[in-house]
């Protein structure tokens, strides 16, 4: 037997409540009743009915106020609301629609009309939910495809890296890649796209392809970034851009070259020494055709570690912390990290950083590299 649909009926008149309850119950619906606005909102949030029939003219909190609050509450925003009104004025109906009602029933109503409208709107709601489920399924496919594009440490045993990656939504705006440029040279790239939407995930795929095409032994790291930038300026939608950091490690020469494109500074931790930021200026990627990117070359030793991360690790829009401010406490999190196995470092740093607090409202990626 299919689950019965539940309908919350809100009316200050007990007779109307009883009447609608009788009509709906006879047709197999579960009815929830409220004779005032606050009770209606509480029941809606707790029971999440499939539909709400809401009287407009009620003492205290009227139906308009109730629907406004229902639509402002994440727990009740998607529940379709039909309002019941004895007022046939256009203004009243329009106000109801503007506030988010899907339909109205004029009082006095006939029970068959109530049933017909309830059925129609339940069907519409089922269709909408099915559409939402379908879209969610497609987004999950994008998510899986995007995850499949992100390299895993076991796939690059010589690259010496570990990673923490958490997209905010199904299609994340953060991207990292590991590039086997030659036997001696490995490239590490991390970028943060503006936005987290599905369009951003396609940007991710484009950037990955551009990295493969342009990060070759023929070009210097800065030239690679410049060429990628020139293509992105052409293909990215307006107002879309990336901040990025590219690390180019030549094990033969033991030189790490860093290129920065408007990204938070890399943390460098020479083996056995304290960590510090490598601050390099640079324009963002994909916005300006004449962009310039700062570059720094560092002589490194075996066991040195580099930490590249997205701004989601250090900034919080909710707490109004920009990444510039957020950097201040970051270095203290690295204490003793040099003694921890590289594979465990990302999770330990993330748990130290958020200390049990909810993760921020942004994508997060942390790439840990050991020379």
Tell me, by CB under 8 A, how many residues bind another protein: 17
Site string for another protein, 101-120 (x = CB under 8 A): ------xxxxx---------
Nearer to another protein, 19 or 348 (CB): 19
- Interaction of residue 336 with another protein, rule CB under 8 A: no
- Interaction of residue 274 with another protein, rule CB under 8 A: no
- 3-class SS string, the chain: CCCCCEEEEECCCHHHHHHHHHHHHHCCCEEEEECCHHHHHHHHHHHCCCEEEEECCCCCCCHHHHHHHHHCCCCCCCCCEEEEECCCCHHHHHHHHHCCCCEEEECCCCHHHHHHHHHHHHHHHHHHHHHHHHHHHHHHHHHHHHHHHCCCHHHCCCCCEEEEEECCCCCCCEEEEEEECCCCEEEEEEEEECCCCHHHHHHHHHHHHHHHHHCCCCCCHHHHHHHHHHHHHHHCCCCCCEEEEEEEEECCCCEEEEEEEECCCEEEECCCCCCEEECCCECCECCCCCCCEEEEEEECCCCCEEEEECHHHCCECCCCECHHHHHHHCHHHHCCHHHCCHHHHHHHHHHHHHCCCCCCCCCEEEEEEEC
Mark the segment that binds another protein (CB under 8 A) among 8-16, 211-219, 230-238, 282-290: 8-16
Mark the segment that binds another protein (CB under 8 A) among 11-19, 173-181, 236-244, 335-343: 11-19
Nearer to another protein, 7 or 150 (CB): 7
Mark the segment that binds another protein (CB under 8 A) among 16-24, 74-82, 137-145, 260-268: 16-24
- Interaction of residue 233 with another protein, rule CB under 8 A: no
- Interaction of residue 12 with another protein, rule CB under 8 A: yes
- Interaction of residue 86 with another protein, rule CB under 8 A: yes
Interacting residue with another protein among 4, 14, 60, 127 (CB under 8 A) = 14
Mark the segment that binds another protein (CB under 8 A) among 7-15, 197-205, 220-228, 280-288: 7-15
Interacting residue with another protein among 7, 23, 300, 330 (CB under 8 A) = 23
Interacting residue with another protein among 1, 2, 3, 15 (CB under 8 A) = 15
Interacting residue with another protein among 2, 3, 59, 341 (CB under 8 A) = 59
Query: What does the binding site for another protein look like in residue numbers (CB under 8 A)?
Result: 12-16, 18-19, 22-23, 57, 59, 86, 107-111
């Amino acid at each position: 037997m299919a689950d019965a649909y539940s309908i919350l009926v809100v009316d200050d008149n007990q007779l109307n409540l009883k009447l609608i309850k009788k009509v709906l119950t006879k047709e197999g619906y579960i009815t929830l009743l409220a004779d005032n606005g606050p009770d209606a909102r509480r029941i809606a949030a707790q029971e999440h009915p499939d539909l709400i029939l809401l009287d407009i003219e009620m003492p205290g909190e009227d139906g308009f106020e109730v629907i406004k609050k229902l639509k402002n509450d994440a727990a009740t925003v998607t529940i379709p609301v039909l309002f019941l009104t004895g007022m046939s004025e256009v203004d009243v109906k329009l106000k109801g629609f503007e506030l988010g009602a899907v339909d109205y029933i004029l009082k006095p109503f006939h029970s068959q009309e109530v049933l017909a409208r309830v059925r129609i709107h339940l069907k519409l709601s089922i269709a909408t939910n099915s559409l939402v489920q379908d879209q969610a399924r497609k987004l999950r496919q994008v998510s899986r495809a995007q995850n499949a594009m992100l390299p895993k440490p076991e796939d690059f045993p010589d690259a010496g890296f570990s990673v923490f990656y958490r997209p905010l939504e199904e299609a994340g705006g953060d991207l990292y890649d590991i590039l086997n440029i030659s036997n001696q040279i490995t490239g590490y790239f991390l970028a943060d796209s503006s936005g987290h939407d599905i369009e951003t995930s396609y940007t991710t795929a484009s950037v990955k392809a551009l990295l493969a095409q342009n990060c070759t032994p023929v070009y210097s790291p800065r030239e690679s970034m410049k060429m990628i930038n020139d293509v992105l300026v052409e293909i990215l939608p307006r107002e879309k851009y990336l901040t990025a950091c590219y690390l180019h490690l030549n094990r033969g020469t033991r030189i790490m070259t860093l290129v920065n494109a408007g990204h938070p500074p890399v943390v460098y931790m020479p083996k056995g020494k304290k960590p510090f930021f490598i601050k390099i200026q640079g324009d963002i990627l994909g916005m300006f055709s004449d962009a310039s990117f700062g570059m720094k070359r560092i002589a490194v030793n075996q066991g040195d570690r580099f930490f590249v991360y997205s701004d989601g690790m250090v900034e919080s829009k909710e707490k109004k912390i920009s990444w510039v401010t957020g950097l201040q406490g970051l270095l203290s999190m690295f204490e003793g990290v040099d003694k921890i196995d590289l594979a465990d470092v990302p999770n330990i740093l993330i748990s130290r950083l958020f200390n049990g607090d909810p993760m921020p409202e942004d994508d997060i990626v942390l790439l840990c590299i050991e020379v």
